[in-house]
Amino acid sequence: MKILSLFFLLLLVGQTGAAQQAIQAPIRDVEQVPNQQDFGSAGEQEDYWARKLFQEQYRYQPYPRFKGTIRLQSSIWGQLALFNNDSLHVDNSPFALLFTTGILYPGVAGYSFRGLGAIRELANSTNAYQRRRFTMLADDGVLANPIVYVFELTNLQAPVDPDLPTFLEGAVLTFIKKGWLMQ
């Protein structure tokens, strides 16, 4: 009887650990970025750096969406996203949904932003359609040059090859990391 109880206890512990692992990292990415030294353009080099950053520093960490009132209003620099008592300058782009849905906001993951822009998706950077990876430029209000950030959005209910608005409906910010200073 004791042996049978011990067996079920070990089985239960093993299943709990597997379930926690599935929650922490629902999608495994196997992209290996080869070392490269020659680039055709600055854009190619930045894509390489972003991919290397994902490869070397990636940790799945879901961040909650902003809870509160979010409004967009026009400004001379594009749009001003208002989050309760805080604001963020954002450019006029199709990525405005990142702000209006509360995925990106001032203070997310402890980062301080005054402005965000030049958001672009890294093409073919992941092998899973439920995950999309991006770069963006951020103004922290301290340095003269913008800082490149990389981030990942995950939507486990996404259909195969969804458009951006459909993908963002159920997306969660699952990784964000400060990259490098633009020169």
> pLDDT for 102-111, tens place per residue?
999 999 998 9
Give residue-wise pLDDT tens across range 109-147.
Answer: 989 888 888 999 998 777 788 999 999 999 887 888 899
Helices (H) and strands (E) counted in the chain, each on its own, are 4, 7
69 token code pair: 């009132």
Give residue-wise pLDDT tens across range 151-183.
Answer: 999 999 998 888 889 999 899 999 999 999 987
What pLDDT score was predicted for residue 23? 41
What pLDDT score was predicted for residue 27? 57
| pTM higher than the cut 0.85 | no
Domain ranges (residues) in the chain: 42-181
Q: What's the CA gap between 44 and 145, in Å, rounded?
A: 20
In whole angstroms, how far apart are CA 12 and each of 9, 18, 120? 5, 10, 44
